[in-house]
Amino acid sequence: MDTPYGSAPLPVWERPEPQPRAAPVPLSRAKIAAAAIRLADADGLDGLSVRKIAKELGVGPMRLYDYVTNRSELLDLMVDAVYARIAEVGQHTEWRATVLAIVHRTRDAALDHEWFADLLGARPHLGPHALAVGESTAAALSQAPGVRSVDDLQRAVGALDAFVVGALRREITERRTARSTGTDVSAWQAALGPYLTRMLETGRYPTVARLVVDGAHLDAEETFHHNLTTILDGLTEPRDRSGVPPAPPRPE
């Protein structure tokens, strides 16, 4: 098919569902995605296969290829099913409330489906629900007082996206580490506490010492919210960027 991007097959979002067939187990892309999500929640993406999904659904593996042509399309369906949950927060009357609701719902979704965090931060997700979330987020950020142009909006979206991806991946990595080692953050800190105390008492790391001793000790959810609001605070006031220097040149 000829598209604005050349001759390419239709993406899974635009291909019609296969015609229903007389079969003991009816299938749909939504049903396949739901089964794949259950398996990925239990075993991660590495444990996901067409054969396992087919067994979960009680059908032969080849039937799934009538609905998805490859693993990439399957992951697209799974991701967009998660975005459907995020999209439920809708739009609030105030831009900041909308962004907070979307980002916190994204965190909730990632904690429930840890594999989702693994798929954030690469190529953009373009399923209909992902686009709806992107539209709601961008529309809200465009109303921030500090966003006065499309360039400002691009920076705001980019900064927020970088925070969300980094924060969620870090939190999920910590959860996985705690499970694999049997040592949570508190136990890890207790084990290394004496060493860190000795290092800080040398006086060579005064700023780190201040952070450790005087800084607030927040849990994961509080830390996420605190850091998120710091980013949004930076968008609440218009600012003069005429004196902002250009980015440094990249090394040869």
pLDDT tens digits for range 214-230: 888 888 999 999 999 99
Predicted pLDDT of residue 3 = 45
Write b or e for each residue in 5-20: b if 16 or more Cβ atoms lie within 10 A of its Cβ, otherwise e.
Answer: eeeeeeebbeeeeeee
The pTM is what?
0.87
CATH topology of domain 2-69: Arc Repressor Mutant, subunit A (1.10.10)
- The torsion of the CA quartet 103, 108, 114, 119, rounded to 10 degrees, works out to -20
DSSP 47: G
- Give the contacts of 222 (CB within 8 A, at least 6 positions apart): none
Q: Does residue 64 surpass a pLDDT of 90?
A: yes
Beta bridge partners of 3: 6
What would the mean pLDDT of 34-42 be, rounded to a whole number? Answer: 97
Between CA 170 and CA 224 the distance in angstroms is: 11
pLDDT tens-digit map of 82-122 = 999 999 998 899 999 999 999 999 999 999 999 999 999 88
Predicted pLDDT of residue 243 = 53
Q: Does residue 2 surpass a pLDDT of 80?
A: no
pLDDT band at 190 (very low <50, low <70, confident <90, very high): confident
Residue ranges of the domains in the chain? 2-69, 80-233
Q: What is the mean pLDDT of the chain?
A: 90
CATH number, domain 80-233, options 3.40.1710.10, 1.10.357.10, 1.25.40.340, 2.60.40.10: 1.10.357.10
